[in-house]
Amino acid sequence: MFTPKYPPQDTAPPAVSTAPAPVPDAQVAHAPAPAPIAPASNRPTVQLTPGSALALAAGGGAVVLVVGAVLVSLLLAVAITGMSVAVVAVVLRSLLKDLDKHR
């Protein structure tokens, strides 16, 4: 399960180089080396059509709205809980003050 999977070995025979005869340095025109060619990828490419791009944008907007609504409701719940705790604290303080006066 956790052992690495290696790609299969190349089965093509090694390329035989047919190099031309060496030329003295005075006659060699220094040409830039050719750029390496990127290997073709086997993965499929994703192409967005206008309809799928619109659906993707609408889905992203819906996710933003839902996450925003959840965060606002959580903030509102914290605010309501804080206010109710403050009211209970004021009522308890008032009751304790009245108890101390009647003794």
Using one digit for the tens of pLDDT, what is the confidence trace for 42-86?
777 778 898 999 999 999 999 999 999 999 999 999 999 999 999
Q: When comparing pLDDT for 19 and 100, which is higher?
A: 100
Mean pLDDT over the full length of the chain: 83
Q: Is residue 44 part of a domain?
A: no
Helix, strand, coil % over all residues of the chain, rounded to 5: 55, 0, 45
C-alpha dihedral sign at 82, 84, 87, 89? negative
Q: How many domains does the chain have?
A: 1
Which residues form the domain of 88?
63-103
Q: CA triplet 90, 86, 88: central angle to 5 degrees?
A: 55
pLDDT at 4: 80
pTM of the prediction? 0.46
Q: Is residue 82 part of a domain?
A: yes
- Closest by CA to 59, choosing from 67, 33, 78, is 67
Q: From CA 98, how far away is CA 91, in angstroms rounded?
A: 11
Q: Is residue 52 part of a domain?
A: no
pLDDT at 6: 77
